[in-house]
Chain A
Amino acid sequence: MVTRPEVINHPVALAFRDPRQGQSVAACCHESQQHGIHPGMPLSEAISLCPDKLQVYPYDAPGDLEQLQHLATACKQFSPLVGVENIGTSFFRTGLSITDRQPQSLLVNITGTWSLFGNEQQVIRQVVRDFHRRGYTIHLAIAATTGAAWALSHFAYPRKPLGESSWFASFPAHDTDHTNTPSLAWILPSQHTREGLGELSPAALRIAEKTLQQLHQAGIETIATLYQLPRLSLSNRLGELLLKRLDQSLGAREECLDVYHSPTNFSVHQHLEHPTDNPQTIQWLILSLLESLAQSLTEHGQGVLQLDCHLQCVSRKTFQTSISLFEATIDPSHLDALLQMQWNHSFLQSPVQEITIVATCTAPLESYQRSLFHPLETDCFHPDSTSPQPQQPLNSRRLAHLVDLLSHRLGTGHVVRPRLRADAQPERAYQNIPWVTPGKQNRKRSLLHKRVSPDRTFPLPATRPLQLLSPPLRITFTVESANGPPSQFKYQQQHYCIEHTWGPERIETGWWRGPTIRRDYYRVQTTTGQRFWLFRERHHHHWHLHGIFC
């Protein structure tokens, strides 16, 4: 909803693949629930309930968690101690929905910090306002313990008084009109924790579904009933966790808050007091920034796989460059060279006032054994440096740098390597893949020699030419023959007389892609000793030249 405002007021469902029943609903909005859709339902059924309107998006659990972590960082404004709720293996509220196995709550320890906002009510107003601004409606509660706050926010009924001096407020979501559900907030004073919790269902204790069921069977429907039962028989019957949770909620037992720390960000930044458009200066600045970036990367044992460089100009325009690398590296001059290459294509319109360099994708660095006689002089491998000495063995890091340079000079789509594919159709039997591809798939990339080896052995390589014409060339004959290939044909203004033929090799394939390919291939040798690969299209008996044997 927050990221896709267009779906507001539409029925929306998130889908995931359930191993047993196939595509299922992971979560759905208020709107779609009114159509009878509920989490856990097969997706096809959900669609049939709301045929034309239902919007389905894939359920993205890591994305959700990332978003929650992002919000956790944002909550640091209220307290330094912010944590994402910890979902243990023994705890999930309902077995039904996959979303319940994901953390969905944020825990903020405001002990001592609330006074900065005035009072607790003010904290709540501040938090609600902040989340409304971000487009969220929330349920929140302030209580003496983590457990009690969690219980209230998840299981307290609106407007039903909890204990004597508890406080409840509802915040209609004015500024975000996408939903009618208001944000709700509770405050339970610490001296009333026990009675306030007592009115809630035992489910509010974050206990296992099974324990909950057993409590229900025994007719225990409120936490208050639990207070009256002997502790020993409780733990005997329903397990240690129940007592632990009960004690934690009442403050009789410690509960730690796992504070969330946002991951280290590899970025360097420089603001220029005097904006400049002098390329030398900028280059020098970038190089020094890259050096300090390399410094911090080295500390973490990481190398750059992808790097973004933003140049903020005075004219408010941002000039952005991104480079991808074949192999993780921290070599500043190499990175700088690659960045320079990108800029060669364009030039700055106005002075630069801010430079930011971010390593958007990193991978562990590989270390190399230095050899005594052939030191790894990657620094000197530079486009304008002298050519490498012939006796020096080609090492993989140098090759990686070469690949990087070529790819950025010529474009990644032009620096490719062929890979054999199992396909009967010759022009589909190989594929060209770029050496350098942006994104995380680079991460697994390592030494060259591992990738060069062919995936499969293919039969009788002598029957295939090394050089294929793309597309196959239609050829005309001067003399045809009844059976098999013609005795003479013309190619590139030259006449060839065929002396020997081998074949036919029949290939029938590709029906699943479109019309079936039906060809009879012949290897031919001309009187002049050249060998060609010809085929006849069996649909209309046209002859093509497809390859030349070297």
Chain B
Amino acid sequence: MYVELNCKTNFSFLQGASHPDELVTRAAQLGYTALAITDRNTLAGIVRAHLAAQEAGLPLLVGAEITPVDAPPCLLWAPDRSAYAALCRLITLGRRQAEKGQCYLTLDDISQHSSNLLAGINPCWNGPVPVAIPDGPSPLPTLAFTTAQHLAGYHAIFADRCYLLAELHDGSDDQQRSEQLIDLSQRVGLPLVATGNVHYHVAGRIALHDVLTAISQGATVADIGTRRFPNAQRHLRPLDQIRTRYRHFPGSLQRTLEIAQRCTFSLAELRYEYPEELAPNDLTPIMYLRQLARDGALQRYPEGIPVKVQQLLEHELKLIEELHYEAYFLTVWDLVRFARSQEILCQGRGSAANSAVCYCLNITSVDPETSDVLFERFISRERNEAPDIDVDFEHERREEVLQYLYTRYGRERAGMTAVVTTYRSRSAIRDVGKALGLSLDRVDIMTRNIEGSTRHASLEDTCRQANIEPGSPLGKRLVTLVDQLIGFPRHLSQHVGGMVITRGPLCELVPVENAAMEGRTVIQWNKDDLDTLGILKVDCLSLGMLTAIHKCFQLIEQHHGKQLELATIPADDKQVYDMICQADTIGVFQIESRAQMSMLPRLRPRSYYDLVIEVAIVRPGPIQGQMVHPYLRRRDGIEQVTYPNSAIRDVLKKTLGVPLFQEQAMRLAVVAAGFTPGEADQLRRAMGAWKRPGLIDQFRQKLLRGMRNNQLSETFAKQVFRQIRGFGEYGFPESHAASFALLVYVSAWLKHHYPAAFTVSLINSQPMGFYGIAQLIQDAQRHNVSALPVDISHSDWDCTLEFTRPTRSPLLRLGMRTITGLSWETADRIMQARSSGSFDGWQDFQQRTGLSRAALMLLAEADAFTSLGFHRRQAIWQALGHPVKEHPLPLFEKLGDPEEPLTNLPEMTLAEEVQADYRSANLSLKGHPLSCCRAYLDTRQVTPASRLSCLDDRHPVQVAGIVLIKQRPSNARGITFVTLEDETGTVNLVIHEKTWQNYQRIARHCHSWIAHGTLQLKNNVAHVVVDRLENLSETLEDLPIRSRDFH
């Protein structure tokens, strides 16, 4: 009987070579009594081990290896909850004192956090001498103590809770080592305990472990020499081997059991508690929540609360009280209240967000009364599922909200969720390739061919491309090792917005460490770990569109005197839906992408719920599950809507019998295949784990059998499985789509009614969305909004609206932010100087702003001095005349420039002007680059974009333009979708993989093309299927146009 007490998982980055679950499962197989996980200065892998241990029925000891800078490393095991808290605190302390990824602790720190912890010390004769981290907080005196002194130090701290680790790995002189160990143990009075110093679960992982060591040393496997383990003994050894190996240490095996018996702590004991101080002293949280909801409802419905809403509220509040989620709702409410007080626009989404309570608490703006209760998946008793509310904030101001949380609850109680960054094909090939000593060029060739995909089915092909035969010994090694390494954690980074807040100190629940970003702290667990332990988190996400909408509201208030809010935008505006149906949606949230725009005329959304469907349907999930066409056919009345039984009817009624949302897929599994809610939850996770595509196939048998039992036809069953599998690719939950749909509607409404203000706010919120500034302005111009160029006398940093009195129609003035490379400070200085009166000449401008030559050059290149009477070249000449240093000597300040401005510089031609505009701001109001060479294009019989719809379907055509967007969706079988732009509009190209490869050089590097192909006209949407590409950039000379690539 044996308990392994020293075992590292791959969360000890580049040290452990097995996943936590592999170790746990293997230990259970071998008949170990228990297993301790002791990762180096971390608890990041412990929850995964815990989950696996629960499944395997193996007791798990929670511990960690701590590496103080002034003593040999020690193992700490947590016997109870208080010891666990001390361990978490200790790791937090060390992590917070050091750079990200490092840990800085001293023996003194350990002694202050030693409460109840059990310790195991490795005498480590040949181990590395502990070295002080050079940039630690306080420099330590040189380490001069001997091992015996260290041991005495530990002994003093832990007293009878201290053990000496005996480890034998068939080294060069085990007998002598044993004698020395026994001798040492007697000398210092510490009992010996047998441990294995396990780094991987089976001996076969030695190769991977060597590779990891090589990676961590930045060397090749052949070069690491003595830094690798000489044999594979550091795996989980069978019990009989252990018995023989440790026969010289009487009692050392028995002692492992003793320690295991002392460690009764399990992660399942962790009770998570939400902060409760949000309620005033005299009220309980639920009372306070009720009160807030009631007050909110009265505000939301000044004419009286509708009966339906009243009932809903009651029902929801009762549920919340039963499940004790009131504090969670209060936390979210507090967050939203803070955001509103700072005038930060926000909107909740997620399963619990679209409830009456959340509407009344101002968390969301989707009115439960008008939107017909869609959301049965609020929270339910049966499914023990945490409520899920994500709150989106304006992307430019989210940091304020996060910092509010930190100050409100303190670093001790709030932390961001971690994300475990794992090895993917590309990084795995790179690192393994380097470790195996492949030349960097070969590694380059291999990784370049991967193109960011996570699949490794083509690993063999990749090898072949780099001239490595997959069947050769080297090829086999490479493939095996890369396969093993994929999925290994690499480092922890922060989740996009998940915050965990606790009532007690968070650092006693889980270690907290520094994030790479300044001012952020992260816990060591990711969201799945939190889910497993039932810890709630609030997702504070950032959304660019909210920034834009907020800016648009401000502009409308300022210029039109109208106050708007998300909830008060008039609903069901027919004209807005007309605009959406025509796919006139550039700039509108979510439905501006090409795929969405081609779906709009087919789906023809006429109501809010149609928008919800629109948002969810153009996703890889529904597309791969082949749900789009059945839905469209049924919607158009071509296909009849049928349901196998009434239960299924209830689930799928809203979407005409086709599951479009993730929730429906799960409910279908319950209703049709008899899944328990718990199983359905596992299914949801499998769907979420799109990185491991095979996972969902495990449910195939179960689903099919379940449906057969419910007397459902085989075809139906297969179809349902295909649909559910599709969601594994990427599905969208209805609860999120509903909140997004509201923003879709609001942004469409703004675009329709206030196109100028909308465009201005979109540009001022860049970078965001799908289109560049040039396209947004062109779109605005199509909607009769005139744009004015950047000028130092008129432009602010942001784009602004200018009103000419007679027409009252606003003009869009480009802001200085559109000038590439110009800093906000420069613009600010110009605006400050201008506030005391307009500039009356170059010298006046220069003296009042005192700008540097570099800044003046940027402005001159952007042609921003026309109001002072300088054309671009003159302005550049003027700017060049200024000293490079910012402030000229004060003595010469008033002397002025002795030179006359140069007047004989040639003016630019229109084509040159357009080019210079593009170089400076990537857009031009003077014209389009293509219009400059239209005459040439006409001789080449190139059709302008606007004339395409006049041609016949299947007509061979040639089109030309600047490449705007290249997109290669993962599910489109290698097809690349490209949008070209000429002066008349845009053309959509479809490029098959073969064509792309034939013209790879042009396709990848040239920014403007002539494309030869065949026209496809469908529902008034024109596509050109390309069969030949030609480079146009040489004709357009060197326009530095940037396309946006979405791979």
Contacts and interface: CB of A to CB of B under 8 A. Distances in A.
B444 interface: yes
Contacts of A233: 881, 899, 902
Given A22-B440, A423-B225, A509 B230 contact: yes
Interface string B999-1030: 01100000000000000000000000000000
Interface string B649-684: 000000000000000000000000000000000000
Contacts of A229: 902
A263 interface: no
Given A36-B1001, A459-B126, A505 B172 contact: yes
A463 interface: yes
Contacts of B170: 504-506, 520
Nearest to A44: B445
Contact of A505 (B173, B441, B445): B173
A44 B173 contact: no
Contacts of B207: 511-512
B961 to A, nearest CB: 22
A460 B873 contact: no
Contacts of B436: 512
Given A230-B899, A237-B880, A459-B126, A44 B444 contact: yes
A426 to B, nearest CB: 11
Contacts of A421: 225
Given A233-B902, A422-B226, A505 B232 contact: no
B1033 to A, nearest CB: 13
A463 B877 contact: no
Contacts of B218: none
Contact of B876 (A22, A214, A423, A460): A214
Most buried by B among A214, A463, A508: A508
A421 B444 CA distance: 30
A421 B226 CA distance: 9
A460 B173 contact: yes
A463 B172 contact: yes
Contact of A424 (B230, B873, B908): B230
A463 B873 contact: no
A422 B225 contact: yes
B231 A507 contact: yes
B225 A217 contact: no
A504 B171 CA distance: 8
Contact of A232 (B169, B899, B904): B899
Interface in B216-246: 221-222, 224-228, 230-233
Contacts of B906: 219
A237 B231 contact: no
Nearest to B169: A506
Nearest to A504: B170
B441 A214 contact: no
A48 B880 contact: no
B873 A508 contact: no
Contacts of B477: 511-512
Interface string A490-514: 0000000000001111111101111
Nearest to B172: A463
B861 interface: yes
B175 interface: yes
A508 B173 contact: no
A415 interface: no
A interface, over-half SS: mixed
A372 interface: no
A44 B225 contact: no
Interface in A508-525: 508-509, 511-514, 520
A505 B171 contact: yes
Interface residues on B, range: 35 or more
Interface in A364-399: none
B853 to A, nearest CB: 9
A511 B228 CA distance: 12
A49 interface: yes
Given A422-B225, A424-B228, A505-B170, A511 B877 contact: no
A236 interface: yes
A223 interface: no
B473 interface: yes
Contact of B222 (A217, A237, A508, A512): A512
Given A22-B441, A459-B126, A214 B902 contact: no
A201 interface: no
A325 B172 CA distance: 41
A248 interface: no
A458 B230 CA distance: 13
Contacts of B173: 460, 463, 502, 505
Contact of A219 (B172, B226, B437, B873): B873
Contacts of B230: 424, 506-509
Nearest to B125: A459
Contacts of B172: 459-460, 463-464, 505
A43 interface: yes
A511 B480 CA distance: 13
A550 interface: no
A228 B174 CA distance: 90
Contacts of A459: 126, 172
Contact of A236 (B210, B222, B876, B881): B881
B1019 to A, nearest CB: 38
Nearest to A15: B441
B448 interface: yes
Given A44-B448, A502-B173, A508 B876 contact: no
Contact of B206 (A456, A505, A511): A511
B905 interface: yes
Interface in B260-280: none
A503 B224 CA distance: 25
A23 interface: yes
Nearest to A521: B172
Contact of B441 (A23, A237, A503): A23
A362 B473 CA distance: 45
B732 to A, nearest CB: 38
Contacts of A22: 440-441, 444
A509 B203 CA distance: 12
B444 A502 contact: no
A505 B176 CA distance: 12
A513 B210 CA distance: 13
Given A505-B173, A508-B206, A218 B877 contact: yes
B471 to A, nearest CB: 15
Contact of A217 (B221, B440, B876): B876
A45 interface: yes
A238 interface: yes
Contacts of A505: 170-174
Contacts of A464: 172
Nearest to A513: B222
Contacts of A508: 203, 206, 230-232
Contact of B873 (A217, A228, A423): A217
Nearest to B905: A219
Given A230-B899, A511-B206, A512-B477, A218 B228 contact: no
B558 to A, nearest CB: 38
Interface in B99-129: 126
Contacts of B902: 229, 233
Q: Nearest 7 A-B pairs (CB), nearest first?
A: A422-B225, A237-B880, A506-B170, A424-B230, A508-B231, A506-B231, A463-B172
Interface of B: 126, 169-175, 203, 206-207, 210, 221-222, 224-228, 230-233, 436-437, 440-441, 444-445, 448, 473, 477, 861, 873, 876-877, 880-881, 899, 902, 904-906, 908, 916, 1000-1001
5 contacts: A44-B445, A233-B899, A506-B231, A508-B230, A512-B437
Interface of A: 17, 22-23, 36, 43-45, 48-49, 214, 217-220, 228-230, 232-233, 236-238, 421-424, 456, 458-460, 463-464, 502-509, 511-514, 520
Given A421-B225, A505-B173, A509-B230, 7 more contacts: A44-B448, A217-B876, A218-B873, A459-B126, A506-B230, A507-B231, A513-B222
